[in-house]
């Protein structure tokens, strides 16, 4: 015999001989409700009575039930309702859109924000390293040039103290003195000796790498130096009254290019002379510039690598979310359509559930609900 749970509709096959007495109780393994099982009475099979003969001696065909107008109208209404439900679209944001936002859009936004922050920090770090390195090397170069000017000034002072009869007109022609006064600074720079303004306010150079400048009024360099002269003159003329002067000025090379020079004018103590030491500062900062170029190149490579990783991750996440979202929504949509068919009275809809997850459990629950509704309808029919 077949026993059906009245609560969930689950079916059980039971041997009537195992029932002791006329009634037994059992617990449904699906919903846990208590079922009362009555033992069917043993009845001898009785042959069905023959149909009454007609006037011509033939049996009448079984009477076919014709639906009433009310039942026909209710069936048509149920079919129309089922058709309307099947065509109805869910309003608002669907499950697929929510999955896309939650598992694709939000993680991608967070990843892009993290990548942007990482690249910004990387750029800031590289800028800090290059700028700080340039500043340190620049300060070091300035200190080297200043120390060179002071060292040459001290050597000149000792020589003039030991040779009080040496005249300034003889400074450039004296090999020993010129060797002390004119020394190499850096790779291309040099030192020179000049005097403070005389009674006529003229600045003159008395020892220089270029003999044409020796004894020359330095203010006459305004025209040859052009735009570079104001910066040069500002540093050159600031060294007086025993005060040291230093600063940058622009110098034009033979090829026409302008480069920055740094000059320090150190006083020769006890004399009216100054030692000017000058050279191109990029001789000291050139290694830093090379390092800066390498850092920028590595930063660009890192940026491209981060963009590549983000792009690959974006494609992978998009594929996974699209595939999983499509599969999940398709299964839910199938169960929704079946539930809608059951709601309008179509109890023959077939439910196929192969998965063992929550969707599969939902399909089994809908199947049990379908059996329970069918059982309830059969009971109503028996009562009528």
pLDDT in tens, 83-100: 555 455 445 566 667 777
Banded pLDDT at 47 (limits 50, 70, 90): low
Burial label for 42, CB within 10 Å (0-12, 13-18, 19+), is exposed
The predicted pLDDT at position 84 comes to: 55
Q: What angle do CA 200, 203, 205 make, to 5 degrees?
A: 135
Type and span of the H or E element at 179:
helix 175-181
Phi and psi torsions of 38, nearest 5°: -100, 135
Asked whether residue 104 carries a pLDDT value surpassing 50, the answer given is yes
Phi and psi torsions of 319, nearest 5°: -65, -45
Asked whether residue 71 carries a pLDDT value surpassing 70, the answer given is no
Specify the pTM.
Answer: 0.52
Banded pLDDT at 300 (limits 50, 70, 90): confident
Asked whether residue 255 carries a pLDDT value surpassing 50, the answer given is yes
- Which residues, other chains included, contact 274 with Cβ-Cβ below 8 Å and sequence gap of 6+? 153, 193, 194, 195, 196, 239, 240, 265, 266, 267, 268
| Tens digits of residue pLDDT in 311-354 | 888 888 888 888 887 888 888 888 888 888 888 777 777 777 77
Cβ count within 10 A of residue 293 = 11
The predicted pLDDT at position 20 comes to: 72
Give the mean pLDDT of the chain: 80
Sort strands 11-13 and 23-27 into parallel, antiparallel or unpaired. unpaired
Q: What angle do CA 51, 54, 57 make, to 5 degrees?
A: 95
Mean pLDDT on 230-238: 92
The predicted pLDDT at position 174 comes to: 93
- With tokens 């459990």, the residue in question is 361
The predicted pLDDT at position 56 comes to: 45
The predicted pLDDT at position 79 comes to: 53
Type and span of the H or E element at 251:
strand 245-252
Look at 30 and 247; give whichever has higher pLDDT. 247
Asked whether residue 246 carries a pLDDT value surpassing 90, the answer given is yes
The predicted pLDDT at position 93 comes to: 63
CA atoms 127, 131, 136, 140: torsion sign: positive
Look at 78 and 379; give whichever has higher pLDDT. 379
- Length of the chain in residues, anyone? 384
The predicted pLDDT at position 76 comes to: 56
| Tens digits of residue pLDDT in 141-158 | 899 999 999 999 999 999
């Amino acid at each position: 015999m077949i026993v059906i749970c009245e609560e969930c509709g689950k079916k059980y096959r039971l041997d009537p001989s195992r029932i002791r007495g006329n009634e037994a109780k059992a617990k449904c393994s699906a919903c846990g409700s208590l079922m009362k099982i009555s033992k069917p009475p043993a009845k001898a099979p009785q042959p069905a009575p023959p149909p009454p003969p007609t006037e011509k001696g033939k049996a009448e065909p079984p009477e076919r039930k014709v639906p009433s107008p009310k039942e026909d109208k209710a069936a048509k209404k149920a079919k129309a309702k089922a058709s309307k439900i099947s065509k109805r679209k869910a309003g608002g944001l669907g499950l697929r859109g929510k999955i896309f936002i939650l598992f694709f859009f939000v993680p991608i936004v967070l990843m892009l924000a993290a990548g942007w922050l990482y690249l910004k920090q990387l750029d800031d770090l590289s800028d800090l390293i290059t700028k700080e390195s340039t500043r340190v090397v620049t300060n070091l170069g300035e200190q080297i040039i200043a120390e060179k000017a002071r060292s040459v000034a001290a050597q000149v002072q000792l020589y003039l103290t030991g040779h009080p009869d040496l005249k300034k007109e003889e400074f450039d022609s004296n090999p020993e003195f010129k060797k002390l006064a004119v020394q190499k600074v850096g790779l291309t720079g040099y030192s020179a000796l000049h005097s403070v303004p005389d009674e006529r306010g003229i600045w003159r150079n008395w020892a220089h790498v270029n003999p044409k400048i020796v004894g020359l009024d330095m203010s006459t360099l305004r025209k040859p130096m052009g735009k570079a002269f104001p910066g040069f003159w500002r540093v050159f003329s600031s060294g007086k009254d025993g005060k040291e002067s230093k600063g940058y000025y622009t110098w034009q090379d033979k090829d026409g290019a302008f480069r920055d020079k740094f000059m320090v004018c150190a006083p020769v103590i006890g004399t009216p002379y100054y030692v000017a030491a000058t050279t191109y500062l990029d001789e000291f900062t050139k290694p830093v510039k090379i390092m800066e170029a390498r850092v920028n190149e590595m930063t660009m490579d890192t940026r491209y690598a981060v963009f590549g990783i983000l792009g690959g991750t974006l494609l992978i996440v998009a594929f996974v979310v699209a595939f999983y979202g499509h599969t999940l929504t398709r299964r839910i949509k199938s169960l929704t359509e079946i539930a809608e068919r059951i709601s309008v009275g179509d109890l023959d809809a077939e439910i196929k559930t192969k998965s063992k997850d929550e969707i599969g459990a939902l399909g089994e629950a809908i199947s049990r609900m379908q059996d329970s509704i069918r059982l309830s309808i059969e009971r109503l029919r028996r009562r009528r």
